[in-house]
Structure 1
């Protein structure tokens, strides 16, 4: 999220806009209809990333007897996060926390109290800003679905996602985008390298370790049942990511256009890089590998999209393709970690890499827009590293604690028989395919 808007979020004047027909503060913009229209479009694009984009991407990667369960996870998470975001999440993330502002917001915006169709935030209806941020709160816990498919209880998915949103996502969101202490420390995270990808990646590691491996991993190959479905979902993610990154400019302007351009170039470079590595190493390029590289490129450019140019996008995509490919092989083949759909290796590592690359590709010499006045590349790198270490530690530790609590109380895993038969029929009483 761009710095000027985050500073406005922390300004008390903004938080006074609670009357039915609010008067504009001296420094408040009038309604910007062009930016409002763009943010409405971007909101739809980001929701499109989860439903159906991410849902199809993940469903194609699991075995046929579990495809419907993955779709169910994504649908229910989208609905549940929406309600929680309205009730408490948005207010805790983006309202003024008073004496606790550095750490968490307040509850004055719970259930959007005092917000009407006329309430503005920097020229945009606050209802639109709320919905745009809601789509981020939806997709982040949905990303974690890729860490635990084919063996987790549905009740555990619901409980974990709800607690995780409030205890992990909301605080980190406030620290960086809500005017909290990491924002004050100068961390740049334009569209969610830390807030979305690193938090989800660390939660994925905690889930893979706590839920445990699938019954036949790593002894038997577990192949995607429908690579075409995965490629379809990846295409939707690519398109939706325009709203994710370019929408984070919160305006219909050149910054949004450059973010879109850098995003596209990074996706293209990531896909070609992953494909090339597979081709050289294994003698044949795979569709699943190519679209996985595409997603790695998108995750890597996300935190830097607001400061990078097209060359920076190419650099991010190439680095994301190489590093995420290597970490995927390390986690699965060497460490035997059953992060089933590579959430940590692609999203977590890609987001972390992009956070650090901000200090490189954000420089004018690489076509970037530069940093705050008086901050050089090394100073920015220090801020980025601080944000990365703190976010990874918080997300990993709290995620593990939530999962350990659920394991000790309601349990995390289905029975061996249910896992063998597949979650589609044993948990939901349906099948993704009726082949009669």
Structure 2
């Protein structure tokens, strides 16, 4: 049986290709979204699990997977429309669900922009693409909280922060809010994602408190190769991160991808050189940090700056955040006293500001036109006002996140009476106690069932032929020299 429809019903039901659907744009947008999704539940899951002590590997990875899942449900029920829906206030859209087939098959649009901007793919593609950005933002924030935040507190923090913090920044800059109307440029999330996550991470870490003394004194990753694998997924996934934000398989998408990789390579090299000069040897973890700061710094300007500017921005992102982390962090009491586990403030907030400020300096007229930005370019085009607009945008994101991250943490702690930090026993035993699972189990046998059950023995408590490494179960013959 076949059904006949009259007129352009595709915008309502989309059973066939419609006159607004560009299959190339839709295919690229879904591909870009999938690359960004892989950055989270593959890239950062692996990176976090490898960079922390082994007893925290399971807990850290699970924080990522939970946040990814919880954000998606919040996103489709109310947060997407708060971020990209119809006008309610200058900084937020009207909340509501996006769960009907008519919505999912209809054409994507940004109803709060003037004129209204339409995309040549369905709303379902746009919702998923924007969701993976929201998810990775809260997951980056988690990097500041690893190795001590109560999992129950994390469960509550995620939906509240996406609702009251992320959605406001997204609408204000991307969804047609007041910063978009002013002409602030954030190509792909240097402000909405990185400055917000870096600020929220620092503030949240203050409220949660520091890690245990034992964890603070031993900062060695449990698996550097896993860190590199996760970082590699993060780097290549960034091609979708920045390449997807023209909302089209356009020439500007190609420019954004090339600039992203050029800036990142330059930043990694500069950070490595700084490490070598300062410490006398290059650091693999330092190279990963330089890679991340390069990715972050190019994000707000990827498709609006020229290649030479991408190199200059890479130099800045490989040196300025390095100075803020290695030197300023030790000299500023407030920063020194806050335990930001993965230095998210420096690698994301500072680097995001470097990139956002660079937009004001280096944005080109051609790039802004190709992207469709509400600007004629930066200072190199004679528009020095763009520098101040970028500063205003950064200050709003920083201020809003300081306020709402503080309020959410206080609500969880003082109203719900849920501890923000784990108990002393949980801090000692890690994932084995919290989740009843060990990250690595080697040669399991009956003699080690107590470890698999979540009991954590110290080296002094193990018998002959047993070795306890915190999250690692080893059995069999004695390992000499370990």
- Return the TM-score normalized by structure 1: 0.89
- Which is further off, 407-416 or 240-249? 407-416
Contact persistence 1:67–1:432 (CA under 8 A): yes
CA distance in 2, matches of 1:174, 1:268: 31
Structure 1 residues not aligned, in runs of 5+: 1-16
In the aligned structure 1, how far is the partner of 2:274 from the partner of 2:105? 51
The one of 365, 372, 375 aligned to 2:375:
372
2:173 paired residue number? 176
Map of 1:260-409 to 2, 5 A cutoff? 260-330=257-327, 332-334=329-331, 335-363=336-364, 372-373=375-376, 376-408=382-414, 409=417
Which of 418, 433, 442 is the aligned partner of 1:410?
418
* Equivalent residue in structure 2 for 1:420, among 405, 424, 428: 428
Distance change (3 Å), C-alpha of 1:219 and 1:332: farther
- Structure 1 residues 311 and 332, CA, compared in 2 at 3 Å: closer, same or farther? same
Query: Does the CA contact (< 8 Å) of 1:93 and 1:171 recur in 2?
Result: yes
Q: Are 2:325 and 2:343, in contact at CA under 8 Å, matched by a contact in 1? A: yes
In 2, distance between residues paired with 1:178 and 1:306? 18
Classify 1:212/1:145 alpha carbon distance in 2 versus 1 (closer, same or farther; 3 Å).
Answer: same
Shift of 1:312: 1.6
How many angstroms apart in 2 are the aligned matches of 1:190 and 1:112? Answer: 30
Q: What displacement does 1:226 show?
A: 1.3
Within 5 A, what are the aligned runs for 1:36-435? Answer: 36-97=26-87, 100-107=88-95, 109-111=97-99, 114-121=102-109, 122-216=119-213, 220-330=217-327, 332-334=329-331, 335-363=336-364, 372-373=375-376, 376-408=382-414, 409-422=417-430, 424-435=431-442
Matching residue of 1:6: none
Query: Counterpart of 1:353 in 2: which secondary structure?
Result: helix
Cα offset for 1:329?
2.0
How far apart, in 2, do the equivalents of 1:209 and 1:367 lie? 39
Q: Partners of 1:396 and 1:312 in 2: how far apart?
A: 31
1: CA distance between counterparts of 2:105 and 2:366? 43
**Structural RMSD (CA):** 2.6
Aligned mates of 1:228, 1:108 — CA distance in 2:
43
CA–CA distance in structure 2, aligned partners of residues 374 and 332 of structure 1: 34
Q: CA deviation at 1:221?
A: 3.9
CA 1:374–1:432: 2 relative to 1, 3 Å: closer
Pick the structure with greater CA Rg. 2
Given that 1:262 and 1:305 are in contact with CA atoms closer than 8 Å, whether structure 2 keeps it comes out as yes
| Aligned length in residues | 415
Asked if structure 1 preserves the Cα contact closer than 8 Å seen for 2:48 and 2:227, the reply is yes
Tell me the secondary structure at the aligned position of residue 342 of structure 2. coil
By percentage of residues, which structure has more helix? 1
Residue 125 (structure 1) shift: 1.1
Counterparts of 2:368 and 2:244, CA distance in 1: 21
SS class of match (1:70): helix
Task: Tell me, yes or no, if the aligned pair for 2:138 and 2:158 is still in contact at 8 Å.
Answer: yes
- Alpha-carbon separation, structure 1, partners of 2:328 and 2:403: 19
Greater shift in the superposed pair: 73-82 or 372-381: 372-381
Which is bigger in relative contact order (C-alpha 8 A, separation at least 6)? 1
Q: Higher mean Cα deviation, 51-60 or 129-138?
A: 51-60
